[in-house]
Chain A
Amino acid sequence: MDIPATALAIRRGDRLALARGLTQVENDTPAGRELLSLLFAEGGQAHLIGVTGAPGTGKSSLVNALAAFYRRTRQVKVGVVAVDPTSPFTGGALLGDRVRMRDLATDPGVFVRSMAARGALGGLAHTTAAVVQLMDAAGYEVILIETVGAGQSEVDIVRLAHTTLVIEAPGLGDDIQAIKAGILEIADILVVNKADQPGVENTERALMSMLEMEHHGFEGDPTHWIPPVLRSIASRNEGIEALAEAIQRHQIFLKNSGEWQRREAARLKGELHVLVQELLVQAWQEALPENAYQQTLEALLSRQTSPHQAAQDLLRYTHR
C-alpha cells in the first residue's frame, strides 16, 4: 500500500481507498498507524454520535432512520460504524446490522462499516476509535457509532462519542432494570423506540423518575444537561426529526459549555495513555533477555519471590 497516496485519495473522497485504509486501521497494522498519523491534522471535525442499548431495542433501525434523515434534510456526509459481537469460541462473527440499513445502501454520501468486537468487552472493538478517526479525516461530518447490544456495560462509547443515545424499548424488563443498568447514566438522550408497543408509558415513567433522582436541583441550570426522554418508531420514521433536534441541542450545549473541548481532551488523553502503556510493554518485551521471564516466573512459582518483587525484578530491563 502506498500510504501517502492512500491518504490523499481518502481526503479526495475515494471510497475504495477509505475502505482499504479502514481495514489497515481496524487490524492495527503499521500502515494503518501511519495513515492515521498522516491524516490526524484533518480530523476532529465530525460530530460523533453513539447509539447503545439492549439487543432488540432497534438500534440499527434507528441509525438507518437518523442517517437517512440527515441526508434528506442537510447536506452532510454520514458515516456509520456498527459493532457486533465476536464468537469467543471460533473468533468468527456474523455482522448483520446492514439488514436494517437498507435506506443507506446506495447513497454515495453514506459510508457504513461493520466491525466485529474481536474480544473487547466494552461494546466497541479496540480499534473502533481509530476507525472513526479515519472516517472523520475522510470528511464524514456526522458519524453514528452503534455498539454491541448487551445492555449493561457498553460504557466505552461515552469516551468516544460526543453525544450518546441510549435506546430502550417497552416491555424489555421491569422498572428495576432502568435503575440497575449503568448505561442510563451515560445517556445524553434517552430514546424509547418501538413506541407503538404496549407498555411505553411505563418505560417512559421509569426513565423519568430515575432522571429526576439523578438531576434533582439542576432544573433550569443552563450549565447542566438533563437528558430528554423521546419516543420513536424507527421502522416508520416517527420521532426522528425530534431526535435530530435534540442531538443538535446537545451539540450546541457541548460547544457553549466548553464540554466539547473537555471531552475531546479527555479522549485524546485516554488514547495517549493507552498508547504509552502499549509502547512501554512492547519496548520492555524487546529488551527482556530470553530466559529472564521464565526464571522469574519459576522463582515466583516456588515462592522464593512475591509477585510484586518479581515485577520489580523484570522491570529492571526497561532501560536499554
Chain B
Amino acid sequence: MAERKIRVIIAKPGLDGHDRGAKVVAQALRDAGMEVIYTGLRQTPEMIAQAALQEDVDAVGMSILSGAHLALVPRVIDLLRANGQKDVAVFVGGIIPEADVPELHKMGVFAVYGPGTNTQTVVAEVQKAAAARLAE
C-alpha cells in the first residue's frame, strides 16, 4: 500500500494575468512533498470546482489579484459544497484588503496569504488543514 500524498489545486480564478505568486506557492508545496495540480490562468469557479472534484483534492488554493475575491471565493466554495466536497480546505492568496479577511474566514477559508508571506508558513498550514481531512 502506497502512502497517501496530500493533493492540492492551485488555481487562478478571474481575469488577472499574473501568476508568479501562484507558481511560487505551487513549487513550495511540491517541494514539501505534495502533489500539486496547477490549472493555469483565467479559470472560472466552475472550472476550479470541477478540477477539485475530478482530482479528489484535499485543499484548494486560489490566487486573486483582481479584487474580485468576495465574488469568486464564495462561488467556488458553494460549488465545492454542492458537489459533496464539504471537507476540502480552502485558502486564498494575493492582494486581499485586511478588512475583507474576516469575511473570507466566515465563508470557510482557513487562511489568507498576502504578498511577502513565508512559504514555510503556507506549507505548514496546508499540511495541517489537509491532515484534518485525511484523518476522516
Chain A positions near chain B (C-beta within 8 angstroms): 15-16, 19-20, 22-23, 26-30, 86-87, 90-96, 98-100, 102, 105-106, 111-114, 116, 118, 126-127
Q: Is the CB of A99 within 8 A of B56?
A: no
Q: How many residues of B contact A (CB 8 A)?
A: 33
Q: Is the CB of A92 within 8 A of B36?
A: yes
Complex formed: what's the CA distance from A100 to B39 in Å? 8
Q: Is the CB of B36 within 8 A of A113?
A: no
Instruction: Please judge, given known A-B contacts A95-B38, A114-B37, whether A29 and B1 are in contact too, CB under 8 Å.
Output: yes
| Chain A residues within 8 Å of B46, by CB | 105-106
- Candidates A22, A92, A96, A126; contact of B32 at CB < 8 Å: A92
B15 → chain A closest CB, angstroms? 15
Q: Is B72 close to A, CB under 8 A? A: no
| Chain B residues within 8 Å of A30, by CB | 1
| Chain A residues within 8 Å of B37, by CB | 95-96, 98, 114
Q: Is the CB of A27 within 8 A of B36?
A: no
A-B contact count (CB 8 A): 91
B52 → chain A closest CB, angstroms? 9
Complex formed: what's the CA distance from A93 to B32 in Å? 10
Q: Is B54 close to A, CB under 8 A? A: yes
Instruction: Please judge, given known A-B contacts A19-B56, A27-B4, A127-B2, whether A105 and B47 are in contact too, CB under 8 Å.
Output: yes
| Chain A residues within 8 Å of B78, by CB | none
Q: Is the CB of A105 within 8 A of B33?
A: no
| Chain B residues within 8 Å of A15, by CB | 53-54, 83
Instruction: Please judge, given known A-B contacts A92-B30, A95-B36, A98-B38, whether A28 and B47 are in contact too, CB under 8 Å.
Output: no
Instruction: Please judge, given known A-B contacts A19-B53, A19-B55, A98-B37, whether A27 and B1 are in contact too, CB under 8 Å.
Output: yes
Interface string of B29-54 (1 = CB under 8 A from A): 11111111111100110110011011
| Chain B residues within 8 Å of A29, by CB | 1
Complex formed: what's the CA distance from A30 to B2 in Å? 11
Complex formed: what's the CA distance from A292 to B56 in Å? 43
Name 9 A/B residue pairs within 8 A (Cβ), A-sorted. A15-B83, A23-B7, A27-B2, A86-B35, A91-B33, A92-B35, A105-B43, A105-B46, A106-B47
Which of chain B's residues 46-88 have a Cβ closer than 8 Å to chain A?
46-47, 50-51, 53-56, 83-85
A215 → chain B closest CB, angstroms? 39
- Candidates B2, B7, B51; contact of A28 at CB < 8 Å: B2
A234 → chain B closest CB, angstroms? 16
Complex formed: what's the CA distance from A113 to B47 in Å? 14
Q: Is the CB of A113 within 8 A of B55?
A: yes
